């Protein structure tokens, strides 16, 4: 577990943004448009192109798709950090790379109307991509692997809501209590807190999110009551 996950997140985002910016500037300053430099003839080239679509040249010219995709990625990362507060290196690194990639390509698009791409993997005739695209892809893979296979709290079925917690598994405070604030206030006794902690892993992802939102509302009400 990381002692300072937020600092690691910030450091990775800054580093990846700088790496993305520098590689794009090298291509813009020292290569002509459509110029291709073979690093491994027929396998991997540096090719200077401009992409007006989303990652890997998908949906070229459809600006709204690009901005919608980048906004969705940013919202997912923000939601995950607020709701889960990760401390393991995999979700921290994964979300940082995704955020850096989204910011890097968005900055390019806002500045010039297109994204600078340069990595040309010709062996399989793959789309030309850049450092930001690598961050989004690798970060997404790390995050999904963590979420599906390694996280102790979230199981595969819970992600898609396939397995709902049985009624007798849900904490009474969530199932039908009239005052959910007992979950998040000092009035909750040790036995109830233990029951809540035990029940959380068996709840679906959406049920866990609902419980967290209720806890935040109770926290706010508690603070206002003592204000």
Active site residues: 117, 133
Looking at 71-172, which runs of residues are DSSP E strands? 115-121
| 3-class DSSP state of 27 | helix
φ and ψ at residue 121, rounded to 5 degrees? -90, 95
* Under 8 Å between Cβ of 27 and 8: no
Q: How many CB atoms lie within 10 A of CB 166?
A: 8
Token output for 187: 């009035």
Distance separating alpha carbons of residues 174 and 208, to the nearest angstrom: 10
Which H helix or E strand runs over 158?
Answer: helix 156-159
Distance separating alpha carbons of residues 69 and 74, to the nearest angstrom: 9
Whole-angstrom Cα Rg for the chain: 23
Which H helix or E strand runs over 40?
Answer: strand 36-40
Distance separating alpha carbons of residues 221 and 218, to the nearest angstrom: 5
């Amino acid at each position: 577990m990381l002692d300072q996950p937020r600092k690691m997140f910030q450091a990775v985002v800054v580093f990846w943004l700088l790496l993305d910016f520098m590689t794009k500037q090298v291509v813009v300053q020292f290569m002509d448009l459509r110029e291709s430099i073979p690093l491994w003839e027929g396998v991997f080239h540096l090719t200077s192109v401009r992409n007006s679509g989303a990652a890997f040249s998908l949906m070229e010219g459809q600006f709204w798709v690009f901005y919608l995709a980048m906004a969705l990625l940013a919202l997912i990362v923000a939601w995950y950090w607020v709701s889960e507060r990760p401390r393991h290196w995999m979700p921290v690194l994964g979300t940082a790379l995704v955020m850096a990639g989204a910011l890097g390509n968005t900055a390019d698009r806002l500045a010039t109307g297109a994204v600078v791409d340069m990595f040309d993997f010709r062996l399989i005739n793959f789309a030309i991509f850049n450092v930001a695209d690598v961050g989004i892809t690798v970060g997404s893979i790390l995050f999904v692997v963590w979420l599906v296979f390694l996280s102790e709290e979230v199981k595969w079925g819970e992600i898609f809501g396939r397995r709902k917690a049985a009624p007798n598994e849900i904490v009474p405070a969530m199932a039908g209590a009239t005052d959910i604030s007992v979950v998040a206030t000092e009035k909750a006794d040790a036995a109830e807190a233990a029951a809540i902690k035990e029940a959380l892993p068996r709840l679906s992802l959406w049920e866990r999110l609902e419980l967290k939102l209720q806890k935040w509302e109770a926290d706010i009400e508690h603070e206002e009551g003592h204000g």
